[in-house]
Structure 1
Amino acid sequence: MLKQILKPGDRVDIIAPASGCHPGVLKKVEALLTSWQLQSYIPENLLGDDFLFANKQEHRLEQLQKALQSPQSRAVWCLLGGYGSGKLLPELGRMIPPKTQKIFLGFSDITALHIFLQVKWGWSTIHTPSARQVALGAVTEDSSQMLHDVLFGKTHLVYENLAPLNHAAKKNAVIAAPIIGGNLHLIQASIGTSWQIDAKNKILFIEDVNERAYRIDRALEHLKQANILNQTAAILLGDFIGGKEVDGTSLVDATLKRFAETCPIPVLQLKHVGHGKVNYPLILGQPVKLQLGKHGTLDFDCSLGGTQSV
């Protein structure tokens, strides 16, 4: 069960800890949350003047800290990813964790914050499309609806037909463990930091976008040699979008297949979680049930209502 769910009238704080976007998007985000019967809080200076990021680092950090600490809001939703979240973590590490956990949403560069909140504070978070994407209709309607239903506790989420990619994943067994992870290159970037990912006895989720096969292979090899995969319970490979070679072909699937075959732990393919137009929510940091075998299933007991299978 999702540790906290939203109800009509709850407030969602919008933050931009990484890249920025056109300010006109903010009205659409506000309208989206209103349509979900939620209040929104968007800082007046959310988007500022910086050539790389949504705002100067001190402003992005302050907005992040206030959102995490605010007693008025129940959730924090990142406007978009891009680049920059990881630069806030040394200072965030000096902050006393709030007594009340928030629902925290985002993906891509926000992987850095997901890992920090799970490893350092013990929070569960939701890997999900950005507020900008949902507000602009950049993901499918069923992706948005599923996120809505999970947030309001209206669905028991089950992902079906996960493809086993190696021998260990074909065995008839069940793994009960929390999921950790997100974008492959942000996972890699955590190595050697104070917020380094800890995948011991966890299910590691990995996805990426617009990365050629050699870069994916290099990052996966780094995880191996840095012992990140030691004692990991299983690996879920989400969507790997783009990344074609200069001749227009793709070596990504072959690279992932070879990686899976060299792993002694179960590796399964989880479609429609990543950077695609279909991008379903993934609850991180809470125990799930992963059924191995020919037709794997991933069961999130986050239900107060019916079952929704994908």
Structure 2
Amino acid sequence: MTARPTHTLCPHVPVPALPPAGLIGVIAPAGPAALDTDKAIAWMRARGYSLRVFPGVYEKDGYLAGSDDVRLNDLHAAFTDREVDAIICLRGGYGTPRLLDRIDFELLRNNAKPFIGYSDITALHLAISRYAGFVTFHGPMLNADLLGDKQKPTESSFFNMLRGQVTADSVLVHPAAYPLTTVSPGIAYGRLLGGNLSMIAATMGTPYEIDAEGAILFIEDINEPLYRIDRLLTHLRLAGTLHKLRGVLVGDVAGVDTIALEGLLKQTFASLRIPVLAGWRSGHCDPNLTLPMGALVRLDAGSKTLVLEQDVVIK
């Protein structure tokens, strides 16, 4: 069991809560996708919110949603737009790493607000965590998740987190229909950081790599066979990243046999003697639960619970 650290961890700054009747901005910082704007507006209106779609959402540049300039301008514009209360990404795919060395992190820090996405958006979560220092949200995207009719926990987890209905000392709810697995028991306290495992590994050796010191690592992935998951974890081990961790939360690893994955996780983390909990429904899965990146959490792998140690939004 890992005791609560005697030194104080500096929490990431919470962001303003999504207000009633708030305005949610949509950007496409990675790949393109066709958006049914009328359907999206109606979906948000039915839940009491309005939508602002930024120009790059309607563009396509090969495998990118518009040029780097267009996507970067939309990112900056969404943060500086004082009417926009939260920012959700259209989809993942690929494209966010191309923006990292051009982002004005001071601009983002001075206009902090909820920012939501996963998959390729992981690169932005890692970079914002390191250089802007406010909580972001690994959660559903507009097209595949919210408009994709995923199970209700996807929506309720998303709105409960952003509205501030999940506060410090709250146990994050996980659907009973999806049992969690204790790979290694114990309790750990630290910042929850990570996201898509492939993207975490791709940013290693850059100024935007994960700040793993004292972290609870969250990982998820899709379309990667077991040997590639092994290779990605080995990359992090050889880079010295895994030895800095206090615990590991494993999300959905789509397409990999769960028993085989559990065996690999035991091999990878046994010598580190840190708690590891697997099966959390977050990532390329249904439901897709929202997690606060950069927030202080308590992971109890034995009791299969994840508890917030700080408020992640301010009402």
Q: Is the 8 A contact 2:76 2:108 kept in 1?
A: no
1:84 maps onto 2:80 in alignment: no
SS of the counterpart of 1:13? Answer: strand
Deviation at 1:113, TM superposition (A): 0.5
Deviation at 1:148, TM superposition (A): 1.5
In the alignment, which residue of structure 2 is the partner of 1:232? Answer: 245
Select which of 50, 58, 62 maps to 1:51.
62
In the alignment, which residue of structure 1 is the partner of 2:34? Answer: 22
Deviation at 1:23, TM superposition (A): 3.3
Matches within 5 A, 1:123-272: 123-155=134-166, 156-159=170-173, 162-166=180-184, 170-171=185-186, 174-243=187-256, 251-272=260-281
CA distance in 1: counterparts of 2:105 and 2:15, whole angstroms: 25
In the alignment, which residue of structure 2 is the partner of 1:112? Answer: 123
Select which of 290, 305, 309 maps to 1:297.
305
Deviation at 1:282, TM superposition (A): 0.7
CA distance in 2: counterparts of 1:21 and 1:123, whole angstroms: 28
CA distance in 2: counterparts of 1:59 and 1:143, whole angstroms: 29
- CA distance 1:281–1:177, shift in 2 (3 Å): same
In the alignment, which residue of structure 2 is the partner of 1:308? Answer: none
- CA distance 1:28–1:260, shift in 2 (3 Å): farther
Q: Is the 8 A contact 2:135 2:293 kept in 1?
A: yes
Deviation at 1:138, TM superposition (A): 4.1
Select which of 2, 12, 37 maps to 2:24.
12
In the alignment, which residue of structure 2 is the partner of 1:273? Answer: 282
SS of the counterpart of 2:285? Answer: coil
Could you report, residue by residue, the CA deviation over 1:20-79 in whole angstroms, capped at 9, with x for unpaired residues?
11132x332222221221221102442213111111111011101111222221211101
What is the aligned residue count? 293
AA aligned opposite 1:15: I
Q: Is the 8 A contact 1:150 1:157 kept in 2?
A: no
Scaled by the length of structure 1, the TM-score of the pair is 0.86
Deviation at 1:275, TM superposition (A): 1.0
Could you report, residue by residue, the CA deviation over 1:174-215 in whole angstroms, capped at 9, with x for unpaired residues?
433220000000000111112111110110101111100111
SS of the counterpart of 1:80? Answer: coil
Deviation at 1:2, TM superposition (A): 5.6
CA distance in 2: counterparts of 1:136 and 1:218, whole angstroms: 34
CA distance in 2: counterparts of 1:227 and 1:279, whole angstroms: 30
- CA distance 1:298–1:135, shift in 2 (3 Å): closer
AA aligned opposite 1:71: R
- CA distance 1:115–1:288, shift in 2 (3 Å): same
Deviation at 1:236, TM superposition (A): 1.0
Deviation at 1:263, TM superposition (A): 3.3
Could you report, residue by residue, the CA deviation over 1:109-154 in whole angstroms, capped at 9, with x for unpaired residues?
1000110111111011111011112332342122212212222223
CA distance in 1: counterparts of 2:293 and 2:262, whole angstroms: 25
Deviation at 1:7, TM superposition (A): 1.5
Q: Is the 8 A contact 1:19 1:83 kept in 2?
A: yes
CA distance in 1: counterparts of 2:59 and 2:70, whole angstroms: 9
- CA distance 1:154–1:19, shift in 2 (3 Å): same
CA distance in 2: counterparts of 1:210 and 1:146, whole angstroms: 25
In the alignment, which residue of structure 1 is the partner of 2:9? Answer: none
Percent of pairs identical after alignment?
31
AA aligned opposite 1:230: H
Could you report, residue by residue, the CA deviation over 1:81-135 in whole angstroms, capped at 9, with x for unpaired residues?
1111111111015764441311010001100011011111101111101111233
- CA distance 1:138–1:221, shift in 2 (3 Å): farther
CA distance in 2: counterparts of 1:154 and 1:90, whole angstroms: 35
- CA distance 1:35–1:238, shift in 2 (3 Å): same
SS of the counterpart of 2:199? Answer: helix
Q: Unpaired segments of 5 or more residues in structure 1?
A: 305-310
In the alignment, which residue of structure 1 is the partner of 2:44? Answer: 33
